[in-house]
């Protein structure tokens, strides 16, 4: 679709964003396997880098203090900024592909294939960054104590709390992606990402891909978290992220701007 504002200064309108999201969904679904997996690994690594920076920001701070958590969220937004501006495939943001599926522009099998490949790639990237940080010695100091606290706190969340926190989290993540698509410049995309992401971190919501880093990071720092607790958290949070992104954002905007 050709830009309607030749100056490049105005954001795309919501209906235009919906069209761009559908077009992007088709392109994402039909990426070759090698490209899709590589971009997914990068996205997992990017989110992990933001999560590692968040861990350091929260080290020595009162984790219940709102302004400190908000600062941590601003730093954590590095991950999605790298995904959006640098270019990568993130499972949680790809919940928006449901718009293209509902309109029949991609098949359910194409959507499922993309989600599975991207999810696996995100996991590889996040775990790889955790492994690299394990070799830095940073977890031997105060950062390690913070990493343990984060992982153990997530492992003890009740399934209900984890599920609803995951729904709300991906509503904000997909809105961040939506706002970034509205922008026509890298600066605009970055500004569109920061507040929604910082807000979900501030509120203590649950992001499946970030947790793919937080758990290995915590284990590397000596956290007492069992594999069953990790698998349960990731399964529940992943499902909640799908509900929040695909149902809460993609379906809502499709009904609003792409009526049958």
pLDDT digits (tens, 9 = 90+) for 85-97: 999 999 999 999 9
Which pLDDT score, from 0 to 100, does residue 9 have?
Answer: 61
> 243 lies in a domain?
yes
Which pLDDT score, from 0 to 100, does residue 219 have?
Answer: 97
As for how many domains the chain has, the answer is 1
Stretch 229-254: mean pLDDT: 96
Looking at the predicted structure, is the pLDDT value of residue 65 above 80? yes
Which pLDDT score, from 0 to 100, does residue 257 have?
Answer: 86
Domain CATH code at residue 146: 1.20.1080.10
> 7 lies in a domain?
no
> 2 lies in a domain?
no
> 151 lies in a domain?
yes
d(Cα 5, Cα 221) in Å, to the nearest integer? 51
Q: What is the signed CA dihedral for 58, 44, 158, 245, rounded to 10 degrees?
A: 110
DSSP state of 2: -
Stretch 53-63: mean pLDDT: 92
Which pLDDT score, from 0 to 100, does residue 8 have?
Answer: 54
d(Cα 260, Cα 21) in Å, to the nearest integer? 17
Please tell me the pTM assigned to this model: 0.93
Percent share of the chain, pLDDT over 70: 95
Residue-range definition of the domain harbouring residue 229: 14-257
Question: Which residues neighbour 193 within 8 Å (Cβ) at sequence distance 6 or greater?
Answer: 77, 80, 81, 84, 176, 177, 179, 180
Percent share of the chain, pLDDT over 90: 89
What are the pLDDT digits (tens) for 146-195?
999 999 999 999 999 999 999 999 999 999 999 999 999 999 999 999 99
106 pLDDT band, cuts 50/70/90, is very high
> 105 lies in a domain?
yes
Q: What is the mean pLDDT of the chain?
A: 94
DSSP state of 258: S
Stretch 244-251: mean pLDDT: 94
> 138 lies in a domain?
yes
> 6 lies in a domain?
no
> 24 lies in a domain?
yes
- Taking the CA of residue 73 as centre, how many other CA atoms within 13 Å lie in the half-sphere pointing to its CB? 25
């Amino acid at each position: 679709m050709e830009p309607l504002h030749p100056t490049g200064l105005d954001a795309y309108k919501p209906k235009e964003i919906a069209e761009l999201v559908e077009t992007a969904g088709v392109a994402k679904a039909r990426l070759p396997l090698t490209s899709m997996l590589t971009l997914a690994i990068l996205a997992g690594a990017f989110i992990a880098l933001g999560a590692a920076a968040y861990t350091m920001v929260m080290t020595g701070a009162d984790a219940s203090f709102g302004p400190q958590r908000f600062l941590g969220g601003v730093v954590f937004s590095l991950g999605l900024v790298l995904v959006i501006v640098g270019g990568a495939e993130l499972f949680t943001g790809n919940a928006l592909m449901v718009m293209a599926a509902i309109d029949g522009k991609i098949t359910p099998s194409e959507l499922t294939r993309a989600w599975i490949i991207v999810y696996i790639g995100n996991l590889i990237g996040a775990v790889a960054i955790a492994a690299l940080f394990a070799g830095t010695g940073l977890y031997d100091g105060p950062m390690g104590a913070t990493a343990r606290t984060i992982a153990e706190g997530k492992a003890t969340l009740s399934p209900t709390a984890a599920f609803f926190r995951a729904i709300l989290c991906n509503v904000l993540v997909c809105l961040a992606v939506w706002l970034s698509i509205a922008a026509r410049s890298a600066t605009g995309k970055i500004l569109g990402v920061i507040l929604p992401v910082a807000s979900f971190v501030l509120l203590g919501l649950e992001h499946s891909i970030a947790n793919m880093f937080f758990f290995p990071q915590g284990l590397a720092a000596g956290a007492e978290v069992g594999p069953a607790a990790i698998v349960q958290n990731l399964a529940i949070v992943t499902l909640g992220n799908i509900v929040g992104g695909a149902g809460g954002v993609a379906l809502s905007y499709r009904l609003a701007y792409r009526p049958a």
